Amino acid sequence: MVSLRTRGARVSYTNVAEGLQELEDDAPAPGSPLSSGNSSAFEPGEAEGSGERDRDDADDLELEVETEPEVKREPKTPGRKPRGGKAAASKRRTPGGTPAPAADTPKARRPETKRGDVTKVDLGTGTRSTEKAYVRSSLNAFPTAYRNLLRDSSQALARGSGGRDRTIRSARLVTTFPPGPMLPFSTKLAAAPKPRARSEVVVEAFGGSVSEQIERRRTAARETAKEVGVHIPWAAWRGEGWWPELCSSGKGKGKAVDDGLPDGWRLREDINFGLPRALASEIAESDGRAYAAPSDPVVLYFGPMGAQRRLAMAQFDAQHIESPTDIARGFILAAGGPVWGLDWCPYPERLGQGSNYAQYIAVGTLPPGFDPRIGERVAHNVPGSIQIWSVVEPDASATELPEGRAACEVVLCIDGGPVTELKWMPIGGWDELSGGDGLPKLGVVAAVQASGGVSLYAVPSPLALRAASGRKDGPIYVRAEPVVRLDIPDATATCIDWMSGSRIAMGLSNGHIAVFDVLDFGPDGSSRYTPDPLPSVYTYIALSAIRSIAAARCAPGDGEGEPDYSGDAPYIFFASYDGSSGMVDVRDPGVTIDHNRARLPCMAVAWSSQVSTPVYADIDYLVVLAQMRTALGPATYYLSPHRGPIWSIGTSDYHTMVASGSSDGAVNVTTTSTGFWRRKQAGMNFQIMYEVDYDEHTGEYRMSEGFLPESMGLEDANSKNKKNQQFRPSKADAEAPTDGEVGYIKVAMWPKQVGIHRVTWQSGGGIERAGWLASAGYSGIVRVESVRGRYMFGDGP
């Protein structure tokens, strides 16, 4: 029998179906092979195997495995009479037609039936017989053989290799820290990154076996986690994230060469696919406005609290961030409409000398009044646009207003409708500035459009475009055609992610995913765009539209268990509007690995290559890290709370910081290290980078910043604490809370004007730019900032 226990710590948990709260909650029988135990965690400075881990399902779900169904005998009450009394008893007749004996005669008593027995009557002879049957519980029916199998399996999982039994509590204890990026080498900075200058990057090659490399990285990550808080300092950044194009020798083993890299390995900035250059034609600004129609200027109160300024930001305006601390510095940009597409361009730093080492970011907006719906398509001739912004880092050492610059350089005027998501080709899409015909490419960007498909566009370099046009300021409007278009006839695209430099995965409105190979590689190493590509994988994974997907970028294993670094990423982590999230192996797409199922949709997922685990948003509006395990399912760790549904989660290839944007208008930053190290019932460490408010009467916005780092317990973050529960009067009209921390009471419905739709870290410009964070939402205000932390104690390990 399987019984679901009510949550001890979360008595008002909303994901328990009505009626299940009253299931039996008696103590498990002694010697039960499965018990919930307590969650366990690692604490800095303590020995492995001790501590309590903050695991989500440790106190919530308990399995009780029995070998036989529960049997309850009917109570024997002295002098009990059959229903209907003696009159009813005398009317019963035997199969032969004679009256039945009296009820108080021993021979007349019917055989006692027990719970779990089934009475069968032979219609020919009228004889009765009883047979055993399993009891159907409130959750499911489990035959005895299956329950015995569960018992034997649980005992086998709790038994060590030497035959010594251990408790389930110790089996659930995670005694190892995540190993970090799964590569045989690592990169780090030799000195603090400087604005408008190249940084020195040091390559450390690991020797030994794969297990020895993992242990070496794990030890370094453990020591670093003891010294950092919410923000990770530059000295603790480590790379690189794994991509199959980085390795050209299969297993990627070999001695280090002159550049420090093992034989057969390359860095991202050294990979170039040699794709055709951009073919784009400049159009007049008056014609371009039909593709990028601006909304009214945004009135924004901005700056440190107590000294905020009132700004009226029109489309393509930019302002410096005057942060009260040196943790963040950057710009705010006015895109001119609700932002749903946002991504940093992966451009080598060595090519930025002529542009003052500028970084580039693509922005996709919706026009005023446009409200797309899932599964609906617009005509292919409906206009849309993609904005390309440049960001030159400000100098923090300046005595007055920090130097720097942010401007909209290019507006791609495209057909197919507005853009709802953007992802740059992660590797090899750029061109050298000199040589070749046509305009050199800044990169290739994939865009999900309202027409239902995904289009790939070659974006021309702003430097080359300005040199050809002679314009020195203001955005240049360029008419662009897709180099590749991906479309599924019976479904619309909802989300995308790159699995490699040439392979892209697409979530669909019909609950399917499709994987396309968009490049063809010749035997001589040349490459070209695949004409009219068909999906190499097309499979059903959910009951409704796919909300978010993330490629699980970990190298596949070969037959010997060694990582095949040149193989494609085999896994995709997904979340659907039916409330399910899970993982699918594209090598065997018919089987989906269920991860979580809830009554509300999971709106955002991401993959952290630093700890090789997925990150997702749960129905309590918390950012959750899920360490995938094979024995007892995923171990979950809470990272950061929000007060409303989470729209987006951002992770980096170079550090463990996790950013999240929510419908409550807040952008939070935390780190995966706090999840693994935190003891049970310890607070979650995070910091609100900024928060957006909206005045419905005046139509004005306010951006508040300068928040201090916080530590919040799980009960407070869930609003389950009694002091945080909303006061519910008996009156028909709702009243505001009168007690407790009102700021942390969670609400599902927030004004759409304050929502933060996208957050993303800069992972394509090298480790020196890994601290740059971009976020944007419905207001059309894009915030880009450089986030850098400090060690808590001295200079770190």
pLDDT for res 447: 97
pLDDT for res 484: 94
pLDDT for res 147: 63
Q: Give the pTM.
A: 0.76
In the predicted structure, residue 584 carries a pLDDT above the cut 60: yes
In the predicted structure, residue 630 carries a pLDDT above the cut 90: no
pLDDT for res 1: 40
Domain co-membership, 299 together with 263:
no
Among 173, 193, 215, which residue terminates a domain?
173
Q: Is 145 helix (H, G, I), strand (E, B) or coil?
A: helix
Quote the percentage of the chain above a pLDDT of 70: 68
Looking at per-residue pLDDT, the higher value among 399 and 584 belongs to: 584
Question: What is the rounded CA–CA span in Å between residue 183 and residue 241?
Answer: 8
Q: Give the domain range for residue 339.
A: 281-729+739-787
**Which residues have a Cβ under 8 Å from the Cβ of 65 and sit 6 or more positions away?**
2, 32, 33, 34, 147, 150, 151, 154
Domain co-membership, 609 together with 515:
yes
Among 270, 292, 322, which residue terminates a domain?
270
Question: What is the rounded CA–CA span in Å between residue 732 and residue 748?
Answer: 20
What is the chain's mean pLDDT, rounded?
76
pLDDT for res 500: 92
Domain co-membership, 683 together with 637:
yes
Confidence of residue 13 (pLDDT cuts 50, 70, 90): very low
> What average pLDDT score do residues 701-721 get?
79
Tell me the per-residue pLDDT of 348-393, one tens digit each, with 9 for 90 and over.
888 887 788 899 999 999 998 888 888 899 999 999 999 999 999 8
Q: Is residue 101 assigned to a domain?
A: no
Looking at per-residue pLDDT, the higher value among 171 and 569 belongs to: 569
- Least confident range from 278-292, 516-530, 745-759: namely 516-530
User: Count of domains in the chain?
Assistant: 3
pLDDT for res 21: 40
pLDDT for res 637: 83
587 touches 539 (CB < 8 A): no
Tell me the per-residue pLDDT of 315-340, one tens digit each, with 9 for 90 and over.
999 998 876 555 568 899 999 999 99
Confidence of residue 658 (pLDDT cuts 50, 70, 90): very high
Burial class (CB in 10 A: 0-12, 13-18, 19+), 164: exposed
Tell me the per-residue pLDDT of 77-112, one tens digit each, with 9 for 90 and over.
444 444 444 444 444 444 444 444 444 444 444 445
Say how many C-beta atoms besides its own lie within 10 A of residue 9's C-beta.
13
Q: Locate 696 and state its tokens.
A: 């419905």
**Beta-strand (E) ranges in 509-569?**
512-517, 519-521, 527-529, 537-540, 546-552
> Which of 337, 296, 405, 304 is closest to 781 using CA atoms?
337
Q: What are the residues facing 421 on neighbouring strands?
A: 448
pLDDT for res 218: 77
Confidence of residue 146 (pLDDT cuts 50, 70, 90): low
In the predicted structure, residue 37 carries a pLDDT above the cut 80: no
Confidence of residue 633 (pLDDT cuts 50, 70, 90): low
Tell me the per-residue pLDDT of 483-511, one tens digit each, with 9 for 90 and over.
999 999 999 999 999 999 999 999 999 99
pLDDT for res 14: 39
**Beta-strand (E) ranges in 604-743?**
605-608, 613-617, 622-627, 635-641, 646-650, 657-662, 666-671, 684-695, 700-705, 710-712
Q: Is residue 125 assigned to a domain?
A: yes
Helical H runs in 30-184?
A: 85-91, 144-157, 168-172
Domain co-membership, 485 together with 633:
yes
In the predicted structure, residue 266 carries a pLDDT above the cut 70: yes
Residue in this structure with the two tokens 């029995």, named with its chain if needed: 66
Q: Is residue 793 assigned to a domain?
A: no
Q: Is residue 78 assigned to a domain?
A: no
Confidence of residue 154 (pLDDT cuts 50, 70, 90): low
Confidence of residue 752 (pLDDT cuts 50, 70, 90): very high
Domain co-membership, 205 together with 149:
no
pLDDT for res 88: 42
210 touches 189 (CB < 8 A): no
Domain co-membership, 558 together with 506:
yes
pLDDT for res 77: 46
Taking only Cα atoms into account, the Rg of the chain, rounded to an integer number of angstroms, comes to: 31
> What average pLDDT score do residues 239-254 get?
75
> What average pLDDT score do residues 761-768 get?
92
Q: Is residue 180 assigned to a domain?
A: no
> What average pLDDT score do residues 521-536 get?
83
> What average pLDDT score do residues 675-699 get?
82
Question: What is the rounded CA–CA span in Å between residue 738 and residue 22?
Answer: 31
Q: Is residue 102 assigned to a domain?
A: no
Looking at per-residue pLDDT, the higher value among 793 and 309 belongs to: 309
Q: Is residue 93 assigned to a domain?
A: no
Looking at per-residue pLDDT, the higher value among 570 and 716 belongs to: 570
Looking at per-residue pLDDT, the higher value among 93 and 653 belongs to: 653
Q: Is residue 110 assigned to a domain?
A: no
CATH code, domain with 396 = 2.130.10.10
- Cα four-point dihedral sign 112, 114, 117, 119: positive
679 touches 58 (CB < 8 A): no
Tell me the per-residue pLDDT of 60-77, one tens digit each, with 9 for 90 and over.
333 333 333 444 444 444
Which of 162-176, 548-562, 629-643 is the most confident on average?
A: 548-562
Domain co-membership, 298 together with 263:
no
> What average pLDDT score do residues 776-780 get?
96
Among 173, 206, 236, which residue terminates a domain?
173
In the predicted structure, residue 25 carries a pLDDT above the cut 70: no
Question: What is the rounded CA–CA span in Å between residue 230 and residue 123?
Answer: 75
Domain co-membership, 155 together with 241:
no
Looking at per-residue pLDDT, the higher value among 188 and 227 belongs to: 188
> What average pLDDT score do residues 589-608 get?
88
Pairing mode, if any, of strands 476-479 and 405-415?
parallel
> Which of 630, 627, 615, 576 is closest to 598 using CA atoms?
576
pLDDT for res 119: 53
pLDDT for res 150: 64
> Which of 399, 369, 367, 396 is closest to 382 using CA atoms?
367
Domain co-membership, 608 together with 475:
yes
Q: What are the residues facing 441 on neighbouring strands?
A: 460
pLDDT for res 68: 39
Domain co-membership, 424 together with 486:
yes
> What average pLDDT score do residues 763-772 get?
92
Domain co-membership, 670 together with 696:
yes
In the predicted structure, residue 22 carries a pLDDT above the cut 50: no
- Least confident range from 552-561, 623-632, 653-662: namely 623-632
Question: What is the rounded CA–CA span in Å between residue 556 and residue 568?
Answer: 7
In the predicted structure, residue 191 carries a pLDDT above the cut 70: yes
Domain co-membership, 333 together with 227:
no
pLDDT for res 416: 94
Looking at per-residue pLDDT, the higher value among 721 and 476 belongs to: 476
